[in-house]
Amino acid sequence: MRQELFVARRKADWELAEKVLSLSGQHFKPVAGTFPSLFRRLSQDLNTARAQAYDPVIIEKLDQLVLACHQKLYGTRAWSPAGLFRFLVSDFPRTLRTHWKSFAAATIIFYGLAALSAGLVLSQPESAWDFMPPSQLETMENMYDPDAEHFLEPREASGDADMFGFYIYNNISIAFRTFAGGVLAGIGSLFFLALNGVSFGVVAGHLVNAGFQDSFFPFVIAHGSFELTAIVISAQAGLLLGWSAFVTRGLSRSESFRRAAKPALTLIGGAAVMLVAAAVLEAFWSSRHEFPLNLRYASGAACWLFVAAYLGLGGRGGKRGKAKGGRT
């Protein structure tokens, strides 16, 4: 078929496709049944135009139409609460266990540095000032000083909610940055992980030196279970990405990246959910210093047990070998 005849005959379908593409929602429904066959006719036109070497502009136009139709045809995605539930209950902990080595590495780095710096500050109290500016240490002392004003009366309910919003914004942003930094050969993740580990250790050591341990530890123990673990996991996800840039196992670097990104995405998603839980605890439970110490320590221990059980056992007993992303 010559070009002009081809255009004259097929133009109607192309215009129809453009019209259908502009429809959405309710308006699209009546024509949805005929859309796949229209898509196939357009694809055939594209192949014809190419095979007959028609005018490049016509081919380009058909190319764009096929792309747009393809997007429309595959544009609807199934989403279900069951999928989210499965992600939380089994996919996330399974992926974490599949990649236990990187988790162990991140854990050792974080808690190792925290313990080292805490030990240093405990044995040489003045070294705290080498790590942090005096103003920051003073703020910390104020926050956990049992004699400070804000400890005398309970915070207002609106204050709790405000802190919740702040923890979401601040902590999840930190987790995302820690993760994203990992794509730069893992350096970004290591940096943020080390920074957080050292400052946690220094603050803990310094507050113990100041004698505030009974206001500090009951405060951090409960939400720390979720928060510290989530920070470690987000660094782990970043390290997976960074690692894949070096160890490609015969794949192209880009492909190696893409494969590592799958479990990394699961991990950072899970870490974000854990941080939401941590924010709830931190805002609405941790600051309840009017409750007895024993209860607060016990609830904190329960939180740690829960996190350990969740990550260690979640998704076990199901079908084996279905962890998302597989082993890398």
Partner 1 sequence: MSDNASDRSRDTLVAARTPEGIEYELKPAGLMARAVAYLVDTLISGAIFTVGAMILTLGAKITGQWIIYLFMFAITWFYHVSFEVFGGGRTPGKRTMGLRVVMPDGSPVSPGASFLRNVLRFADTFMSLYHIAFLTMTASRDFRRLGDHAAGTLVVYARTDTTLDRRARIAWPDWVPTIQPPRALSNRERQTILAFARRYPWLGLLRANEIATGYARTLGLSDEHKLAPSTYILGLARFLAGVGQ
- Site residues (vs partner 1, CB under 8 A): 1-5, 7, 21, 39-40, 43, 46-47, 50-51, 53-58, 60-61, 63-64, 66-68, 70-71, 74-75, 77, 158, 161-166, 168-170, 172-173, 176-177, 179-184, 188, 241, 253-254, 257-258, 260-261, 264-265, 268
Coil vs helix vs strand at 324: coil
C-beta separation of 59 from 28 below 8 A: no
Name which of 137 and 264 has its Cβ closer to partner 1: 264
Q: How far is the CB of 29 from partner 1 (least distance, A)?
A: 18
Indicate the residue among 153 and 156 with the shorter CB distance to partner 1.
156
Cβ closest to partner 1, residue 3 vs residue 213: 3
CB of 314 vs partner 1, minimal distance in Å: 20
CB of 216 to partner 1, least distance (A): 24
Q: Name the minimum Å distance from CB 121 to partner 1.
A: 31
Residue for token digits 């940055």?
Answer: 177
186 in Cβ contact with 240 (< 8 Å): no
**CA 159 to chain CA centroid, nearest Å:** 27
Report helix, strand or coil for 84: helix
For partner 1, the closer of residues 132 and 260 by Cβ is 260
User: ∠ at Cα 110 (275, 217), nearest 5°?
Assistant: 65
Burial tier of 236 (Cβ tally within 10 Å: 0-12, 13-18, 19+):
buried
- Decide whether 87 or 297 has the Cβ nearer to partner 1: 87
Least Å from the CB of residue 265 to partner 1: 5
Tell me if 14 sits within 8 A of 42, measured CB to CB. yes
- Between residues 120 and 241, which has the closer beta carbon with respect to partner 1? 241
Closest CA to 202 of 275, 95, 113, 74: 113
Q: Name the minimum Å distance from CB 306 to partner 1.
A: 25
CB burial class (10 A; 0-12, 13-18, 19+) of residue 122? middle
Q: How far is the CB of 302 from partner 1 (least distance, A)?
A: 26
The amino acid sitting at 283 is: A
Residues 6+ apart with CB under 8 A from 276: 168, 172
Q: Which is nearer to partner 1, 122 or 177 (CB)?
A: 177
